[in-house]
Amino acid sequence: MSLEEYFNGVQKRLPVEAERVIKTLEDTGPMNKEDLSLTAKVKRAVLDHVVMQLYALGLVDVSTEGKSKICSLTKLGYDFLNLKDAV
C-alpha cells in the first residue's frame, strides 16, 4: 500500500471536523486547544476526540506549555495535506 492510498483511507475514516482542524493548523500554526476550537469552529468536546485521532495517526503533535496543550501539524500532517490537495 502506498502512502497516498493510506492517506485516502485515513481521510475517509476521519470525522469532517478533522479537516477543519488540520487546515486551521496549517493556516495559523501551533495553537492551544481553546483557540483552535474557536478558529476551526469545532466544539471543544469534539475537538478533544479529533485531536487524539490525529495525534494517534501522527498528523498532529500535542505539547504542554504550562496548563495549555499546544497543537501543531507534524511533517506527516503537512504531507497528508499535500497529497490530499493533489488528488
Q: How many domains does the chain have?
A: 1
Helix (H, G, I), strand (E, B), or coil: what is residue 65?
strand
State the Cα–Cα distance between residues 60 and 47, nearest whole angstrom: 12
- Each residue's pLDDT, cut to its tens digit, for the chain (87 residues) gives 787 888 888 888 889 999 999 999 999 999 999 999 999 999 999 999 999 999 999 999 999 988 889 999 999 999 888 876 655
Give residue 20's domain range. Answer: 3-86
The reported pLDDT for the residue numbered 7 is: 81
**CATH number of the domain enclosing 76:** 1.10.10.10
The reported pLDDT for the residue numbered 65 is: 86
The reported pLDDT for the residue numbered 82 is: 84
Overall pTM > 0.85: yes
The reported pLDDT for the residue numbered 47 is: 94
The secondary element (H helix, E strand) that includes residue 45 is helix 44-56
